[in-house]
Amino acid sequence: MNEFDDYEEDEYYEPTIADEIMTEAIDKFKTALVKGKQAAAENLTVWEASLSQREQTLVDNKKELRKKEYDIKSKEKSLESDRKNLERNFYKTKLLEISDEMGKQYFEYLYLIDYRYNKVDKCKRCDENRKVLATRPDRTKIEVSCTCDTSVKEWYVTKIKCVFIKFSSGEKGFNFHFEYDNNGYEDYISVNNDSIYESVDSVPKEKLEKKRYYSIYFTTEVEAQKYIDEVLLSKDK
């Protein structure tokens, strides 16, 4: 016995027809599986592209719909604005006719004079509440108002609009006067023609001397401001 006597060669089996058929079937199945995956991936890509196109179409349709809605609303607002302008002009024309017949002049806008108090500019010595520390004779510290904690009177012109006409009847017969918007307040300002002035020179001397500002209405902002500068702010001689 030599050293090769214990070696056994692997036995070789000749593939049978059944083995060949099985191997061929497995290869075909693998090929079909690969092709199936490729086809599925391609179909998925096509489906995603179609879905993306549909979504884009839906977005475009929504944009077009919003645009049409906006155009419709814009046209409605424009038509409503035109209607109101026609109505306003009609009533304004009729109002002027009635006013002329009754000897009263109509002004859509008037300018009145009012005043307010404004804080003077804050100085650098005081805190945000305009307080400064002061020392009492007993050396204790207290907070007192700063000298800048004061206000100055400011005259200004404000524009008011005629909002409606108030009619009345009494012993003297039928009458009416104009009601003007009081700058957002609930009450309205009733204005008679004898309180309306086209210029400062047309204001009665008595009102000028007393520097009255209430119940005085100007037809222009320029004259109202002139009344402030030349009358209300003028120094008494």
Name the band, by pLDDT with cuts 50, 70 and 90, for residue 228: very high
Residue 209 and residue 112 share a domain: yes
- Please check whether residue 199 lies inside any domain of the structure: yes
- Please check whether residue 79 lies inside any domain of the structure: yes
What is the rounded average pLDDT of the residues 70-85?
A: 86
Tell me the pTM.
0.50
The CA distances from residue 155 to 10, 49, 116, 226, in Å, are 120, 71, 7, 11
Q: Between 234 and 105, where is the model more confident?
A: 234
Residue 32 and residue 96 share a domain: yes
Question: Can you give the pLDDT at residue 18?
Answer: 73
* Domain containing residue 113: 106-119+154-232
Question: Can you give the pLDDT at residue 214?
Answer: 81
Residue 191 and residue 87 share a domain: no
Residue 98 has pLDDT above 70, yes or no: no
What is the rounded average pLDDT of the residues 209-228?
A: 89
Pairing relationship of beta strands 188-191 and 173-181 according to DSSP bridges: antiparallel
- Please check whether residue 139 lies inside any domain of the structure: no
Best mean pLDDT range from 40-49, 202-211, 224-233: 224-233
Best mean pLDDT range from 9-18, 154-163, 170-179: 154-163
- Please check whether residue 66 lies inside any domain of the structure: yes
Residue 180: HSE in the Cβ half-sphere, 13 Å Cα cutoff:
21
Residue 5 has pLDDT above 70, yes or no: no
- % residues pLDDT > 70 (the chain): 76
Question: Can you give the pLDDT at residue 237?
Answer: 43
Helix (H) or strand (E) holding 60: helix 17-101
- Please check whether residue 8 lies inside any domain of the structure: no
The 3-class SS string of 65-95 reads: HHHHHHHHHHHHHHHHHHHHHHHHHHHHHHH
List, in sequence order, every residue forming a beta bridge with 135; answer none if it has no partner.
141
Residue 111 and residue 72 share a domain: no
Residue 111 and residue 67 share a domain: no
Segments in 102-213 forming alpha helices (H): 205-209
Residue 114 and residue 22 share a domain: no
Residue 83 and residue 35 share a domain: yes
Residue 115 and residue 94 share a domain: no
How many structural domains comprise the chain? 2
Residue 168 and residue 65 share a domain: no
What average pLDDT does the structure give for the chain? 79
Residue 196 and residue 86 share a domain: no
